[in-house]
Chains A and B, each alone.
Chain A
Amino acid sequence: MPRWITQLRLILRSMFRKNQVDQELDEELQYHLDREIDEGLNRGLTPEAARYAALRAMGALAMSKEECRDMSYLTLFDDLSRDFQYATRSLRRNPGFATLAVLIMALGIGANTAVFSVVDAVLLKPLSYHDADRIVALSTLWTKTGADQPSVSVPDYHDWHDQNTSFEAMAYFQAGDTAVIAGPTAEFAGDATVTNEFFNVFGVQPVVGRGFSEEESKSGSGAAAMISYSFWQSHYGGEMSALGKTLQLGGRALTIVGVLPPGFSFPAKTDIWFPANTIFHESTIRAAHNVQVVGKLKPGVALEHAQSEMTAIGDRLEQQYPPSNGSKNIKLRGLRDNMVKDARLMLYLLLGAVGLVLLVACGNVANLLLAKASTRGREIALRTALGAGRVRIVRQLFTESMLLALVAGLTGVVFALAGSRALVLLAPANVPRLENTGVDGPVLGFAFGASVLACLIFGLVPAIRTTRVDLNTTVKQGAAQNAGTSRSRLRQALVAAEIALSVVLLAGAGLLVRSFAALHDVALGLKPEHVLLMETSVTARMTAQQAMPVYKRLIQEISSTPGVIAAGATRTPPGAVRSNGPYWVDQAPTPQQINVNRPQAIFSFAGPGIFAALGVPVHSGREFDAADNLDAPPRAIVNQALAKRAFPGQDPLGHTIAVATDSLKPMTIVGVVGDVRQLGPASEPAPEVYMPYEQHPTLSTFLTIVARTTADPQLMAGALRQKAREIAPDVPVKITTFEDRLSQNVAAARFRTLLLAIFAAFAVALAMAGVYGIVSFTVNQRTPEIGLRMALGAGSRDVLKMVLLQGVRLAIIGLAVGLTGAFAASRLLSTMLFSVKPTDPLTYGAVTGLMALVTLAASYVPAHRAARVDPVVALRHG
């Protein structure tokens, strides 16, 4: 048995089998004593003399026993349990204090635990795949800017795959949300096209059926699919007969060949997987980045090693294909880190902020304990006089704090259960792995750790401070007045620290609130009110070309529905753009010119009426109309940003523009429209090219119909869904309002702003309670003095001013420290700020003003009380 286990066993035995251990000790010592007596008798002593000799030889039996008890920790556990009982009694005697302290700490610990439960679920828990730590995401790295993007070009992927030696498997995938018919109705389902090593990367094998055969993975062949376990259960009742059945997708009937194990749904929430380059042909253009790549490192290969190998491959490709691969390389990241990289900063920021709240709560409880200690000076002095050592008393007081902290921790866990659920509801939906959030082992461990840490912070200082009393005077006076000044200085420092921490939080919250307001006020370039979005997908039974008439009819019918003012369609409504690339003015590009380093534009595919429906102004030329179809010459509309950039000082109408999409043909510009913030309110409008969706049917596999309504668009949702079902039963629809989408777009900003504001408010409230407490305390202590001053002629105004000044002094110190801290800390926020600088003077000014105001308010109540002191009463009782 390892030694530590033996030791632990003995300690536990002392802890829980105390009586038995004690008995055995007695028996052992008794045995020794008896043998000594026998020995004495053998030497011819009288029994009495033998016993006496034995006892003497034994030394003091009791001493020896005590020492043995010390050695086996029995004494320690005795003391602890006595301390514990005493602490319980002491807290029960002050139920008000105990409840308040527990509640404050429980809120602090609960909030921290709740935030940690999210951090743990999203950032810390390993992925639930086989050897998940060897799974790596490979992204495209732009060496000029240092930025990386998840999408990779297919030819690049093939070179990465074939040239590396670090990976045992590498695959690309392309995820979508497309129309599927697997049951009686059409629906949207998550699907992914994957290359054949995809399942090896994750180490999954079908639980039922088989994987894709070589034949099914060959280019152009296919029509095989694997489905998720949950899809198997919901659509086929988990029956074996699902194998061999077909489901409709992308105009093909796919045969189900296997079912993946429960819980496997990578990427995102995929239900259907099919082999790459079968139903959809893979791109051969190196400049077109549209797949994502994952790989599994060989055992023992470090990420750094793989990274340097892939960088070398990237360098080679750059030399080989300068136009498409100039300043392009490869970035490796652990899959988990890659999934959560956008959420990481925000979550750590929140954890830091809520940690500050805990510190403020600790300061508050420390203050309460100090206040309580001032009434306990006599008790402690008495105990010291009776011989209790200082360590013993510190331990006693500390046990009390520990008990408080543990009760608070338990209560906090209860709060955290609710808090963590609330956080999951509030959090932006695009935070990955959020669904794993729960209060489990690690989270409980965190709560315990936070409690112990909190106890160390709020318990130790008062405990040590309290024992530093002058025995003589304290016992005599029966009050702790002489310890009052130094203790009161400590309490003031604590309150000032609380103010400082609150200022840091308040400044952070202020900056975020200002950015959020700015996000709201930003001109999107369209009118988002009363706009309904209806996402549709090419019907599962049809190809994109076949679907065009269905779309056309749908748009037509919807625009003629009563209550709809204007209707149009676009492949990607604002906030959902996915396509961008270089453009060429008045010429078709030569192959050398197809270069990733050219100026970029966003590509949108839209139908007639889209600008009217979205409320985007048409500055010159016209909207698309029904005549912009496959039979007409290629046409395009550009936005003002592109016009300004590509046609400075000219009218773009009549010029041509070519872009790298399905064709490189120059398109005639027929209109110029206003700029739209396509990537959300936080990003500047980019140059953009709109193309009629009918002229690019292969790219228009999905379409969002945009309807501007007279009334609340939500009310129209039912009618429009009904209409869609009548016209095109095979077309699944998803209906949202534009404003809902917009609010999702700023969901992350709203989430962090809201939470930081709550934390700041909580911290300020606690700090103010602290200010109130300390000012009240001094007023009480100084009542005789105030009485004296008033008797000597000071007016109540003077007294009011004197007391308020104490609060002001605290505020000034707290603000000075807090603003300095906030200045330093706000830099962490800079990536989350929008149109506000981390040093925004308005925010800091507002924080200063607010803090000064609430501090004054908190000190006003006790100050007012002081001003009404009756000198006669005060002097008599002083």
Chain B
Amino acid sequence: MSKPTDLVQGTLDLLILKIVALEPIHGWAIAQRIKQMSSDVLQVGQSALYPALHKLEQQGWIEAEWKVSETNRRAKYYSLTRSGRKALNHEAANWERLSTAISTIVRST
């Protein structure tokens, strides 16, 4: 693995769902939040963030609303839908399982 901050396929979706679940939030803030919460370990390439957001919206897991942001400008705020909540639980559980499995293997040496 060349770049350690690369996100495993699908993991970005999980991160977005998790962050959007906290409160309605716009794209830029999501990127910031991921960076902060992972103590700068994870940096979302913005070119990956927006397609992912639009895909999640198209899937009906998050929904968007235009609101005035903290800088007094119009911004697109995303929030979690009910089916998104289900998807989040499912994905989170999956991730839990996967990461435990990987850790077990990695530590076993």
A residues sitting closer than 8 Å to B (CB atoms) are 3-4, 6-7, 10-11, 24-25, 27-29, 31-32, 34-36, 38, 57-60, 63-65, 67-68, 70-73
Contacts and interface: CB of A to CB of B under 8 A. Distances in A.
A73 B47 CA distance: 17
A7 B63 CA distance: 10
Contact of A10 (B47, B57, B73): B57
13 contacts: A3-B60, A3-B83, A4-B60, A6-B81, A7-B58, A7-B60, A28-B27, A31-B74, A59-B46, A64-B47, A67-B50, A68-B53, A72-B54
A70 B51 contact: yes
Nearest to B63: A6
Nearest to B55: A71
B46 A57 contact: yes
Contacts of B76: 24, 27-28, 31
A10 B46 contact: no
A24 B54 CA distance: 12
Given A3-B83, A7-B58, A58-B47, 16 more contacts: A24-B76, A28-B50, A28-B75, A31-B28, A32-B31, A32-B50, A35-B71, A38-B71, A59-B47, A67-B47, A67-B50, A68-B50, A68-B54, A71-B51, A71-B58, A73-B58
Nearest to A65: B50
B47 A60 contact: yes
Contacts of A57: 46
A7 B57 CA distance: 8
A7 B51 contact: no
Nearest to A60: B47
Nearest to B69: A31
Given A31-B28, A31-B73, A59 B55 contact: no
Nearest to A9: B60
B77 to A, nearest CB: 10
B27 A67 contact: no
B94 interface: no
Contacts of B75: 28, 31
Nearest to A31: B75
B26 A31 contact: yes
Contacts of B46: 32, 57-59, 64
A29 B50 contact: yes
B89 interface: no
A97 to B, nearest CB: 39
B91 to A, nearest CB: 16
Q: Which interface class (under 10, 10 to 19, 20 to 34, 35 or more) fits B?
A: 20 to 34
Interface in B38-72: 45-47, 50-51, 53-55, 57-60, 63, 66, 69, 71
A32 B28 contact: yes
Given A28-B27, A31-B73, A72-B54, A7 B47 contact: no
The 7 closest A-B pairs by CB, nearest first: A59-B47, A71-B54, A67-B51, A3-B60, A64-B47, A6-B60, A35-B28
Contacts of A25: 54
Contacts of A72: 54, 57-58
Contacts of B58: 7, 10-11, 71-73
Contacts of A63: 47
- Identify the interface centre among B47, B55, B57, B73: most chain A CB within 10 Å of its CB: B47
A65 B26 CA distance: 16
Given A3-B60, A10-B57, A64 B26 contact: no
Contacts of A58: 46-47
Nearest to A14: B58
Interface of B: 26-28, 31, 45-47, 50-51, 53-55, 57-60, 63, 66, 69, 71, 73-76, 81, 83
Contacts of B59: 3, 7
Given A6-B63, A7-B59, A27 B47 contact: no
A183 B40 CA distance: 97
Contacts of A3: 59-60, 81, 83
Contacts of A64: 46-47, 50-51
A646 B27 CA distance: 99
B106 to A, nearest CB: 31
Nearest to A10: B58
A65 B54 CA distance: 10
B67 to A, nearest CB: 11
Contacts of A27: 74, 76
Contacts of A6: 60, 63, 81
Contacts of A4: 60
B98 to A, nearest CB: 25
A68 B51 contact: yes
Contacts of A65: 50
Contacts of B28: 31-32, 35-36
Contacts of B31: 32
Contacts of A35: 28, 71
Contacts of A34: 73
A35 B66 CA distance: 16
Nearest to B43: A57
Contacts of B54: 25, 68, 71-72
A31 B76 CA distance: 9
Contacts of A67: 47, 50-51
A571 B73 CA distance: 94
A592 to B, nearest CB: 76
Contacts of A11: 58
Contacts of B73: 31, 34
Nearest to B76: A28
A36 B28 CA distance: 8
A852 B97 CA distance: 72
Contact of A59 (B45, B53, B81, B83): B45
A25 B50 CA distance: 9
A28 B81 CA distance: 20
Nearest to A27: B74
Nearest to B57: A10
A61 B38 CA distance: 25
Nearest to B29: A35
Contacts of A32: 27-28, 31, 46, 50
A64 B52 CA distance: 10
Contacts of A7: 58-60
Nearest to A5: B60
A155 to B, nearest CB: 63
A3 B60 CA distance: 6
Contacts of B53: 68
B74 to A, nearest CB: 7
A60 B26 CA distance: 20
- Identify the interface centre among B50, B53, B75: most chain A CB within 10 Å of its CB: B50
Contacts of A36: 28
A659 B13 CA distance: 88
A808 B80 CA distance: 70
A7 B54 CA distance: 12
A707 B76 CA distance: 90
Nearest to B70: A35
A72 B55 CA distance: 7
A85 B41 CA distance: 49
Nearest to A38: B71
A438 B76 CA distance: 50
- Identify the interface centre among A4, A34, A71, A73: most chain B CB within 10 Å of its CB: A71
A29 B73 CA distance: 13
A57 B57 CA distance: 23
- Identify the interface centre among B26, B31, B45, B46: most chain A CB within 10 Å of its CB: B46
B95 to A, nearest CB: 22
Contacts of B45: 59
Contacts of B51: 64, 67-68, 70-71
Nearest to A72: B54
Nearest to B46: A58
Nearest to A59: B47
A633 B26 CA distance: 107
Contacts of A29: 50
A4 B81 CA distance: 13
A417 B74 CA distance: 54
A7 B55 CA distance: 11
A138 B29 CA distance: 72
